[in-house]
Chains A and B, each alone.
Chain A
């Protein structure tokens, strides 16, 4: 079992997202994260899914997804050929006397302060998923009160060589 990132171009139609997520539960595949949003075209959305599965299951997932009428294209994003980003909002409890400390630390790590309250700060972090995880570890000792992640989104790098790098399952 490895974790794969699958990118799906999907018609922006009612129920389209439900059909994809239903397929995963119906076939017994577990989605780690799912991010969906508009693309350069108003009639098309892009889904980025993180799935724990074997290579055989991945192939099945791609083939099954391709049979959905609203699915236009299914691509696996390989880590070395894709740009992947994630956004997190993290609210950390912090007494006033340790505030400066924490803000300085977060700035070094590349997070922004999104809001400051009496006894808590909300940070905004955008970056590679591994950087986000590192930041989360860094501030965990301070006491994370609430945390939300968007789930990763990704695109194939224009600099990645050839077309063969991304595995694309097209119907014959």
Chain B
């Protein structure tokens, strides 16, 4: 019996989304994608969330993907619709977030003529997608969409783009969704080399000062349980990057938290003074390594990654292990258990050393009477979250507030910290929170934002309010582009060029009310807890304007170009570059 059904290309797109198990898509209609929105009007099980800007839709799809572990879907029209998606696509590319972007394209007969709202969407996005397709034949639609989801979610995850000419959406086809993909050139690794795993195990057993360096790849690979077993069974201390936050419980005693530019001194020291770096799903980003030539100079490197091209890209891997992390880590733990035969690890003194460092150099800041420090607000959020019975999922923008969120929030579950790491996209936080809420309606989703970031995408408050996706946005409002200001203060002789935004404009609480959200303002430590709690309990989207100290700087800090081991604990230390 044939399962082929006659339908339009536009309906075929929705049937494909349904077949892929997509329950929510984010987008905005426009001319070239109108037939597909018309198909939505004919009926679909896919919930469409109407964003207010395509960039917002893209970040929502990212937030959805990161909170759920599923592929995020964003839909936009041709031309400006597609170009507005470029930032989220680049963001998803840098952070390996699985995303399928569907854009309308002008009619096939008009392609190449500079028609109204025509832009070469596949050309513009070529360097920032895993693959893309321009569909000009309706018969190709089912296979292309099948391939798009497959490529987005397999191997190292990431964004793909499907650009569909308007006449293709209007054309008729005999639809049958394929069960297999036909991609002879796409063969991501599905197993790991046992010899490499054995070598890794031997190196770990021999190491005096081993350290696990875990990144976002662990979350993407759903290998958190395997990582935890490895760390516990071999008693390995671990540092976890910004992108990896939550892959190992933050409150686990062997988790030493974030290394890198604003990581702790103890994490940077543990990583850089080790003799064996066990890198797992991480890519030796410059924000972690600092000066690469001075990074962990005495260490051998084992590098676990699904992407062979990351292994040896920045730092030579003495033992490369390419393949799925869950398999690799499980095999490694098994191998270690067999080889060790119950003997205690030789690196016990190192564990004590690292613990000493943690006690000696905790994250800290100086409180001043009558001044609300941004870190205090983040600590209050942390404490409030700890009292909640429901899951709390955090998102952030990019800048000082993001680093404080990384330092002070406690994330004990995977997919509870969603941030823009690689691209550093200001404005990511609010729409990502809306997307995360769509994925996890039972969780309280809190965007820890900065005032600069918030103003880049705050129109999505309308989406949050009207789509009944209530989130809490906590704006650490210091009135400045704070991280840029910090660099101006430290490295540009306090010439504060074009970084002053002011505390007062806009009035964030009034802005929230204008969008149908609850607005709160707080400027003292005394009212902090009660205000945040009121925002959590608002029952609708809430914005908390936290007016905090404009002069607070984010420390520790590894100045750009310095060795990570020379991390500065406070502004009084001499900069060593």
Contacts and interface: CB of A to CB of B under 8 A. Distances in A.
Interface of A: 11, 14-15, 18-19, 22-23, 26, 56, 59-60, 63-64, 66-72, 171-172
A22 B185 contact: no
B193 A69 contact: no
B151 interface: yes
A11 B184 contact: yes
Contacts of A67: 130, 155-156, 307, 309
24 contacts: A11-B185, A15-B122, A15-B126, A18-B126, A22-B126, A23-B127, A56-B312, A60-B312, A60-B313, A63-B309, A66-B309, A67-B130, A67-B156, A67-B309, A68-B185, A69-B151, A70-B131, A70-B185, A171-B187, A171-B188, A171-B308, A171-B322, A172-B191, A172-B308
Max chain B CB contacts within 10 Å: which of A14, A19, A67, A70?
A67
A48 B187 CA distance: 22
A98 to B, nearest CB: 49
A49 B191 CA distance: 31
Given A22-B126, A67-B309, A69-B183, A14 B188 contact: no
Given A22-B127, A59-B312, A69 B192 contact: no
Given A59-B312, A172-B322, A69 B188 contact: no
B88 to A, nearest CB: 19
B491 interface: no
B63 interface: no
A74 B73 CA distance: 32
A69 B126 contact: no
Given A63-B309, A171-B308, A15 B134 contact: yes
Contacts of B322: 171-172
B80 interface: no
Max chain A CB contacts within 10 Å: which of B186, B187, B313, B323?
B186
Contact of B130 (A23, A26, A69): A69
Interface of B: 122-123, 126-127, 130-132, 134, 151, 155-156, 183-189, 191-193, 307-309, 312-313, 322-323
A39 to B, nearest CB: 14
A64 B127 contact: no
Contact of B189 (A69, A72, A172): A172
Contacts of B313: 60
A63 B308 contact: yes
Contacts of A14: 134
B126 A72 contact: no
A172 B127 contact: no
A64 B309 contact: yes
Nearest to B309: A63
B183 A171 contact: no
The 6 A-B residue pairs with the shortest CB-CB distance in the complex, in nearest-first order: A63-B309, A69-B131, A172-B189, A26-B127, A72-B185, A69-B186
A70 B130 CA distance: 11
A59 to B, nearest CB: 7
B316 to A, nearest CB: 9
A11 B183 CA distance: 10
B233 to A, nearest CB: 25
A71 B186 CA distance: 8
Given A60-B313, A66-B309, A171-B322, 12 more contacts: A18-B123, A18-B126, A22-B127, A26-B127, A59-B312, A64-B309, A67-B309, A69-B185, A69-B186, A71-B185, A172-B191, A172-B193
B323 A172 contact: yes
A171 B185 contact: no
Contacts of B309: 60, 63-64, 66-67
Contacts of A64: 309
Contacts of B323: 172
Contact of A72 (B123, B131, B184): B184
Contacts of A56: 312
A171 B309 CA distance: 10
A42 B407 CA distance: 56
A23 B131 CA distance: 12
Nearest to B190: A172
